[in-house]
Amino acid sequence: MSFTQFKVFYALLCVGLGLIILLPTLTMVISLPSGEEFSEIYLLGSNHMAEDIPYRVSPNQVYRVYLGIGNHMGRLTRYRAYVKLGNQTQSFPNDSVGAPSSLKPIFEYGAILMDDDVWEKEIEFSFLNVSFSEKTCEISRLALDDNIISVDQLISWNANAHGFYCQLFFELWHYDTTASETQYQNRFVGFWLNMSAIR
């Protein structure tokens, strides 16, 4: 090995060792691109399966579902899941434009999650003070866990589907620290319920 080759080898060795020694410090200063940041929301039936989500329901009967929220935002995040109830003609979230439903929330669940944490809650619900006529169903109150909520929801008979249909859904919102406001995450889960089970 010539003296020139030895100098090149020695210089490369010094640079390599220097990088190895400085690597821990560099990782604190240089932030590498992280994976995609996202949040998740899911809904499962009483046996932790999607097939168990209720569909045909009767007044004054208790039903159970599991609502879950997952944080993959890379940081501590504060979440809100707004509960909404709507009939077939009312506004639902619009995925294509990222807009939430214009319906007012009837209840909300909150969770503060570290990155990669999951929050899950068993939710019990039942429909109270339900009255039927030939072409309408009126739901006056909804029991959600230990809360009785006035909903005053009027549902028209759907002749094509043979039922009174409403949707119970959950919109996922999070607190954006940059904007200092709670923002819709363009994520929601819900299920249609046929209130004609006793007809």
DSSP assignment of 61-86 equals --EEEEEEEEEESSS-EEEEEEEEEE
Q: Are residues 139 and 165 in the same domain?
A: yes
Q: How many helices and strands, by DSSP H and E, does the chain display?
A: 1, 9
Both 45 and 17 in one domain: the answer is no
Place of tokens 């006793």: 198
Query: Token pair of 105, please?
Result: 């929330």
Does 50 lie in the same domain as 121? Answer: yes
Alpha carbon distance 159, 146 (integer Å): 34
Phi/psi-derived region of residue 4, left when phi > 0, alpha when psi is between -120 and 50, beta in every other case: alpha
**pLDDT score at 34:** 58
> What pLDDT is attached to residue 14?
59
**Beta-strand relationship, 163-176 and 38-44:** unpaired
pLDDT in tens, 13-44: 655 655 566 556 545 555 445 568 899 999 99
Output the domain CATH number for residue 143. 2.60.40.10
CA distances from 161 to 132, 137, 174, 180 (A): 17, 15, 36, 44
When the pLDDT of each residue in the chain is averaged and rounded to a whole number, the result is: 88
Check whether residue 90 and residue 126 sit in a common domain.
yes
pLDDT in tens, 48-92: 999 999 999 999 999 999 999 999 999 999 999 999 999 999 999
- pLDDT per residue as tens digits for the range 152-185: 999 999 999 899 999 999 999 999 888 889 999 9
The pLDDT value given to residue 177: 84
Pair (26, 43) in one structural domain: no
The answer to whether residue 106 scores a pLDDT higher than 60 is yes
111 and 158 in a common domain: yes
Structure tokens at 161: 């589907």
CA neighbor of 103 nearest in space, from 115, 111, 91, 114: 91
Domain count of the fold of the chain? 2
- Shared domain for 26 and 104, answered yes or no, is no
Are residue 18 and residue 75 in the same domain, yes or no?
no
Handedness of CA 125, 107, 87, 69 (dihedral sign): negative
Q: Do 78 and 119 share a domain, yes or no?
A: yes
Cβ atoms 151, 86 nearer than 8 A:
no
Please tell me the predicted confidence (pLDDT) of residue 22.
57
**Is the CB of residue 120 less than 8 Å from the CB of residue 40?**
no
In this structure, the answer to whether residues 128 and 178 fall within a common structural domain is: yes
Mark whether 23 and 65 lie in a shared domain. Answer: no
Kindly provide the residue ranges of all beta strands, DSSP E only, lying in 45-162, ordered along the sequence: 63-72, 77-87, 107-113, 118-132, 136-144, 147-158
> What residue numbers bound the domain in which 139 lies?
38-198
First to last CA, the chain: 95
Residue 118 half-sphere exposure toward CB, CA atoms < 13 A: 9
Shared domain check, 192 and 133: yes
